[in-house]
Amino acid sequence: MQLTIGSNRLRSTDGTISIRGKRQIALEWGQLNSELLLTMNLYGTGGRHIARLRRNQWTFNDDDRFDFAGNASGFNLVDTKLSQVVLGARVVGQDSVVITQGAFYSFAGHKIEITMEDWSGVTDSQTSTEPATQPDKPSYSPDEATSISRSVARSSDAVVCPRCGCPLTRERLASEAQRDRWLVSCLICGRNLIVHAQS
């Protein structure tokens, strides 16, 4: 499975994510209909184990606090008490999944937050991480590359793909010659661009 979390693209992963050394999330494909299946342990602010979802079915769910809705294109796990998405994911291609958002606690009570551009609080995963380069995919035109570079330079701007309108992920690469480098990727059309910015 290829899994994208924030700006991180994880290739050849088994779909398991360990947070602070303990397995908390597992994604897998169903055998019959290739539906995306989620197994997740849910904790409260103090680290109390308050729910467990196993392969899209509740093992337990204190006070029916959480609601899960899944289909062939992805899923949403919602905290009904706080009216917020705990974990959302969508299928973007064969064996490829994007976690679009997340807000939950680890077993130690640490807050984990995931957006399309950031992944904070997660310290490890049972995966191999590689830059999101796909050399066989077409590149952006010079005008499109210039537009993307300007948007990245103005970090407050949302950066979207000029071809499909999908939010672009950004991954900081090693800096060179006093300049920051960013790998900017579109998850839908597969185009990538390395952007240089003055540090």
Domain ranges in the chain are 2-129, 142-198
- The confidence score (pLDDT) of residue 79 equals 94
Q: Give whole-number Cα distances, 63 to 42, 67, 70, 85, 167, in Å.
A: 13, 11, 21, 17, 36
Per-residue pLDDT, averaged over 59-74, amounts to 92
- The confidence score (pLDDT) of residue 134 equals 38
Where is pLDDT greater, at 32 or 128?
32
Q: At 149, is the secondary structure helix, strand, or coil? A: helix
Share of the chain above pLDDT 90, in %: 27
- The confidence score (pLDDT) of residue 121 equals 52
Strand partners, 2: 96
Q: pTM of the entire structure?
A: 0.61
Q: Which CATH class is domain 142-198?
A: mainly beta
Q: Which of 16-20, 96-100, 103-107, 181-185 has the lowest average pLDDT?
A: 181-185
Asked if pLDDT for residue 173 goes beyond 70, the answer is no
Provide the pLDDT confidence category of residue 89 given band limits of 50, 70 and 90. very high
Where is pLDDT greater, at 59 or 143?
59
Q: At 143, is the secondary structure helix, strand, or coil? A: helix
Asked if pLDDT for residue 157 goes beyond 80, the answer is no
Provide the pLDDT confidence category of residue 18 given band limits of 50, 70 and 90. confident
- What gap in Å lies between CA 141 and CA 138, rounded to an integer? 9
Asked if pLDDT for residue 128 goes beyond 70, the answer is no
Provide the pLDDT confidence category of residue 119 given band limits of 50, 70 and 90. low
- The confidence score (pLDDT) of residue 14 equals 84
- The confidence score (pLDDT) of residue 187 equals 57
Provide the pLDDT confidence category of residue 155 given band limits of 50, 70 and 90. low
Q: At 145, is the secondary structure helix, strand, or coil? A: helix
- The confidence score (pLDDT) of residue 107 equals 87
Q: Which of 29-43, 53-67, 147-161 has the lowest average pLDDT?
A: 147-161
